[in-house]
Structure 1
């Protein structure tokens, strides 16, 4: 699905909701044992690769970045929205946060040991996903670990309001794990695991663990 101007729309929309978003989700992870478990597995896999920098791409107000840091990872956050980065720096002053786009990451080749895209690919239209995955592949070192979280399902929906009633103009794209796994295979990743989580009726989250091949499998 092609969505003209999606980067600008996403940036503007999340600038508007940044403070409300942070307030609404600040303690959400404490109520999500499955998500904490998935993040713990990601952290274990990163440590098995010798630790090193971990990018939380699409970090929003930094709550997941801070959690990764609390479990011992050298985590930093990147987000398209300057307002989100401002809130992240306010709430987590000891951590590193940068404004940037997943379609053009300002990071060196082979820089990261881990990369997390936690429900941040959901606004990327189909015809731009390959660009983002190519960037993820470029910045991950061989053997580097990636975790994607996303809304599982089919179809796209225009979101015009959210997080405190502020206006938004972003498409939310739902995708089946096998579809994303196929994209990852095309992008040169090795998929390690696909998971789904149903926290409420008619709500389904998808999670995929993958790595950039280095000639051996992850432990």
Structure 2
């Protein structure tokens, strides 16, 4: 693991408990996210759904609560520990978006909500290629991210010392990376931040693995 990935892992290990407390209920006020997750569930048609960058497992909990078999993957061992403790209806694995701990074609669908924002620009393409590997042909991927071109480095987060970069991304650029990795983008959506969220605009892409 490179130094950048180690910084991300260490930072999320540090804030894991507080993150779970502050973010764990966020889907309650995110109607758009819930609607898009509902599309993912329908597309999965009873197959296994991967939650990539699952954090404390709150999205996995929602998916499992709506009948899905879910496997969550996160770079942070502490996040995975919390997820296993709090979300017993899902399975969780420690792993990296660049080397997912999953078999070829294991998943019917995947979500990556605000997890690709911690990748360096040259890591997006290999990460999407890795997601394609673990999806079955025709499987869908839902990606969300903060919109823009800036990189924000956080060295203090909720009173904890961290060292992590947040890469804001442009919808078109992410769509291009997905296309090059073997996905067809079917839905593009952007929205303003909600009062309960950090004040950033948000982007969503729903893409399908080509044969």
**Superposition TM-score tier, normalisation by shorter sequence:** over 0.9
Q: Which runs of 5+ in 1 are unaligned?
A: 215-219
Structure 1 residue aligned with 2:103: 108
| C-alpha distance in 2 between matches for 1:62 and 1:26 | 8
2:19 aligned with 1:14, yes or no? no
What is the number of residues matched between the two proteins? 207
Residue by residue over 1:133-173, the C-alpha shift from the partner in whole angstroms, topping out at 9 and shown as x without a partner, is: 110011111111110011111111111122x3111111100
Structure 2 residue aligned with 1:217: none
Following TM superposition, the consecutive aligned residue runs of length 4 or more in structure 1 with deviations greater than 3 angstroms are none
Residue by residue over 1:81-137, the C-alpha shift from the partner in whole angstroms, topping out at 9 and shown as x without a partner, is: 000011111111232111111100121111110011110001100011111111001
RMSD across aligned positions (CA): 1.3
Structure 2 residue aligned with 1:88: 83
SS in 1 for 2:201: strand
| C-alpha distance in 1 between matches for 2:54 and 2:48 | 15
2:71/2:90 contact within 8 Å kept: yes
TM-superposed deviation, 1:200: 4.1
Deviates further, 11-20 or 87-96: 87-96
TM-score after normalising by structure 2 = 0.94
| C-alpha distance in 2 between matches for 1:117 and 1:205 | 13
Structure 1 residue aligned with 2:49: 54
SS in 2 for 1:199: coil
| C-alpha distance in 1 between matches for 2:33 and 2:129 | 26
2:43/2:139 contact within 8 Å kept: no
Structure 2 residue aligned with 1:206: 203
